[in-house]
C-alpha cells in the first residue's frame, strides 16, 4: 500500500469513527433534513465533510475540494470539477444511514482536468478499503484484485430506476430487465461498485452520475478489469455531472451485452 493510500485510509477511518459511527442508529429527528424528494442529509454528513475538507486541503493547499454538501449549498463549487480537485462524498448511502441500516461509506477521489486519477472507497461498518490509481490497478485492503463475475446465467443485474424519467424507466423494464436476474440495489455507490468487481453483481445501471457518487468507483472498477462507461462507450468524466447514464459491469464482455440491450433507449 502506498504512503498516500495509508494516509487516506487513516483519514477515512478517523472520520468514520469520529463523525459517522457515533450517530449510527442514534440520530434524532432534528438531525435529519430533507434535501430533495427521497434525498436526506444528516449532521453526520456535514461533520464528516468538514473534517475531510480540512484534511485534504492540508494535503495539497492549492487544490480545491468539491464536497457534496458544499455543492448543494453553492452550485458554483462544481466549477472546480473542470480542473484539478479533490471530490468528496462524506457519507454515501445517507438514506440507509438515516434509517439505521447498512450499507454506507465514504468516497474520495482526486481528479485532474475532469478525469479521476485516484479513488478511495471506505466501508464504515466493515472497514473495507478500496483504492485505485489510473494505470496502476485496483486494490482491496492493500491486495490487488481482478474483477470477477458471478458466473450466473442469466447475469445478475442491479438496476437503479430512481432518477429515470417515466418513459425511460418503462423502456428499461421492458427491453433490458428481462435479460437479467434482478437483484436489490444498495442505494450506495460505495457498496455497488465493489459488488461489481467482487463476484456479487454482474452489471448495474446508474442514471444520475454526480461526481462524488462515481468518480472513485468508476475508476476503481475499470482498474480492476471491469468496465464503467457511458452507454455510448465514452469514458466517464467528473465534469459532466449533469449528463445522465452510466453502465457498470464485472467485465468488458458483460458491459458490451448490457450496452447492446440499452441501445436506442
Q: Which residues are annotated as a binding site for Mg(2+)?
A: 68, 89, 91-92, 213
Residue 34: CB atoms within 10 Å: 9
Mind giving me the DSSP string for 144-163?
Answer: EE--B----SSPEEEE--TT
Residue positions forming the annotated binding site = 68, 89, 91-92, 213
Question: 100 — alpha (psi -120 to 50), left (phi > 0) or beta?
Answer: left
Dihedral over Cα of 73, 118, 107, 218: its sign: positive
Strand locations in 18-159 (E): 32-36, 39-42, 65-67, 85-92, 105-112, 115-123, 129-133, 138-140, 143-145, 156-159
The three cell numbers locating residue 238: 467528473
Distance CA 174, CA 37 (A): 26
Amino acid at each position: 500500500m502506498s504512503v498516500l493510500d495509508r494516509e487516506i485510509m487513516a483519514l477515512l477511518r478517523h472520520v468514520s469513527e469520529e463523525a459517522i459511527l457515533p450517530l449510527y442508529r442514534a440520530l434524532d429527528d432534528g438531525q435529519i433534513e430533507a434535501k430533495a424528494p427521497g434525498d436526506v442529509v444528516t449532521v453526520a454528513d456535514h461533520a464528516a465533510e468538514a473534517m475531510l475538507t480540512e484534511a485534504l486541503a492540508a494535503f495539497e493547499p492549492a487544490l480545491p475540494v468539491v464536497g457534496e454538501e458544499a455543492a448543494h449549498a453553492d452550485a458554483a463549487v462544481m466549477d472546480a470539477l473542470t480542473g484539478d480537485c479533490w471530490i468528496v462524498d462524506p457519507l454515501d448511502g445517507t438514506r440507509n444511514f438515516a434509517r439505521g441500516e447498512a450499507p454506507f461509506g465514504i468516497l474520495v477521489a482526486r481528479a485532474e482536468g475532469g478525469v479521476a486519477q485516484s479513488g478511495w472507497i471506505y466501508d464504515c461498518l466493515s472497514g473495507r478499503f478500496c483504492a485505485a490509481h489510473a494505470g496502476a490497478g485496483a486494490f482491496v485492503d492493500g491486495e490487488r484484485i481482478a474483477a470477477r463475475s458471478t458466473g450466473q446465467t442469466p447475469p445478475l443485474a442491479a438496476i437503479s430506476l430512481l432518477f429515470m424519467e417515466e418513459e425511460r424507466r418503462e423502456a428499461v423494464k421492458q427491453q433490458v430487465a428481462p435479460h437479467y436476474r434482478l437483484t436489490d440495489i444498495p442505494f450506495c455507490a460505495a457498496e455497488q461498485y465493489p459488488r461489481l468487481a467482487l463476484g456479487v453483481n454482474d452489471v448495474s445501471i446508474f442514471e444520475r452520475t454526480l461526481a462524488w457518487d462515481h468518480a472513485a468507483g468508476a475508476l476503481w472498477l475499470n482498474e480492476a478489469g471491469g468496465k464503467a462507461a457511458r452507454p455510448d462507450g465514452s469514458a466517464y468524466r467528473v465534469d459532466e455531472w449533469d449528463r445522465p447514464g452510466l453502465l457498470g459491469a464485472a467485465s468488458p464482455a458483460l458491459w458490451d451485452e448490457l450496452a447492446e440491450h440499452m441501445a436506442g433507449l
